[in-house]
Structures are given as structure tokens and as C-alpha cells.
Amino acid sequence: MYLIYRCDCGRAVYSKEKVATKKCVCGKNLKVKERRIIAKVEDIGQASDKVRKLQEEKYGEAFFTTADKIPNKR
């Protein structure tokens, strides 16, 4: 079972149900039992998909490009 919750920075995070702490990519250590659980899913594939969906809802769809197509703002 995997738990899905948010960090204080807003990023959606998942971890196994038995895990006590998880480190977000922002650097904050999260105590899982103190977090509000958004969802519970059975396997890691579902957890990854759910986190991706939550991130897209908050920040928009991810897109990839090459550096030469990004305008230089200097």
C-alpha cells in the first residue's frame, strides 16, 4: 500500500505505508504520520500516476524542449 500526500512546498509525494519519514525534493524531511493523506493506492505504478496527475492539476502539464528553443531573457 502506498500513501500520497503533499509537502509544505506543494509538491505531491508518495511513500510506502510503513515509512516513518520521507525527504521531499525541496529538501524538507516529512513525518508521514503527521501529513494529511490524499489517497491510498495498491502499487507503485498507481502511486506514480496519481502523483503525476496531482502535479499537473497544480502546475500544468509538463513539456520538454531543448535549450536552444528557450528565449534568452538577458
Nearest of 54, 46, 49, 61 to residue 7 by alpha carbon: 54
Q: What is the distance in angstroms between the CA of the first residue and the CA of the last residue of the chain?
A: 48
Whether 68 has a pLDDT exceeding 70, the answer reads: yes
Place of cell 496519481: 50
**Domain boundaries along the sequence of the chain:** 2-59
Looking at residue 71, its pLDDT comes to: 79
For the domain made up of 2-59, give the CATH fold: Rubredoxin-like (3.90.820)
Q: What is the pTM of this model?
A: 0.78
| pLDDT 10s digits, 12-49 | 999 999 999 999 999 999 999 999 999 999 999 999 99
